[in-house]
Structure 1
Amino acid sequence: MKLLFICSRNKWRSLTAEKIFHEVSGHHVRSAGTENNARIKVNSGHIGWADLIFVMEKKHIRRLREKFGTMLNGDKKVICLDIPDEYTLMDEELIEILRSRVSEHIEIF
């Protein structure tokens, strides 16, 4: 399964998710951000590639729908993890939250 993780700047939350889930068997993982100054800015290629999209906050769903609305219609599943922008890269608490919330939707172990 191809997993895409989205946050605002792709520097802390989504990049942490990409790093911790990239070795999970059977899954391919990428990350991107919604803002213009994102490390990697989400584009239509990312959306088309992904089987499942995880966003950190509801505002990210809104931004994706504004820009890629037609691509998100149909069977493209977008899941909000409700993780606020208050963590740094590879923060232990962030890793624990990501593992817990993502495991509700896919098998990660």
Structure 2
Amino acid sequence: MARRLLFLCSQNKLRSPTAEAIFADHPGLEVDSAGLNHDAVVPLSPEQLAWADLILVMEKEHRQRLTRRFSRSLAGKRIAILNIPDDFEFMDPELIRLLRLRCRPYLP
């Protein structure tokens, strides 16, 4: 069974969609992405949290916001912070390098 990774950032415009794109074809993974802001391109839903085996947030602040807004949906969920700042454009080569490096411990 594939491991389900959910990538989260604020707007779901740059970092989390890049992560979803680069890991979409990774063997043994299913991936999705969303944003924590109400006006995100894809706002996070409780259904996405229920689906995920592991939630990967870009910044410590995202974990705090996630816990504040969705505490009921997070029981038993593992959340990891990737420590990737909002300094990149979509599919930026340096962002891709950082994502591959920081996600390595969580990949099958």
Fold agreement, TM-score > 0.5: yes
Displacement after TM superposition at 1:105 (Å): 2.1
Q: Give the aligned partner of residue 83 of structure 1.
A: 84
Displacement after TM superposition at 1:36 (Å): 1.4
Q: Give the aligned partner of residue 15 of structure 1.
A: 17
Q: Distance in 1 between matches of 2:89 and 2:56?
A: 18
Percent same amino acid at aligned positions? 45
Alpha-carbon RMSD:
0.8
Q: Distance in 2 between matches of 1:44 and 1:73?
A: 12
Q: Distance in 2 between matches of 1:36 and 1:67?
A: 11
Unaligned runs of 5+ in 2: none
Q: Distance in 1 between matches of 2:47 and 2:75?
A: 15
Q: Give the aligned partner of residue 25 of structure 1.
A: 27
Q: Distance in 1 between matches of 2:10 and 2:87?
A: 12
Q: Give the aligned partner of residue 105 of structure 2.
A: 104
Q: How does 1:28-107 map to 2 (within 5 A)?
A: 28-74=30-76, 76-107=77-108
TM-score, L = length of structure 1: 0.94
TM-score, L = length of structure 2: 0.94
Displacement after TM superposition at 1:104 (Å): 1.9
Unaligned runs of 5+ in 1: none
Displacement after TM superposition at 1:60 (Å): 0.7
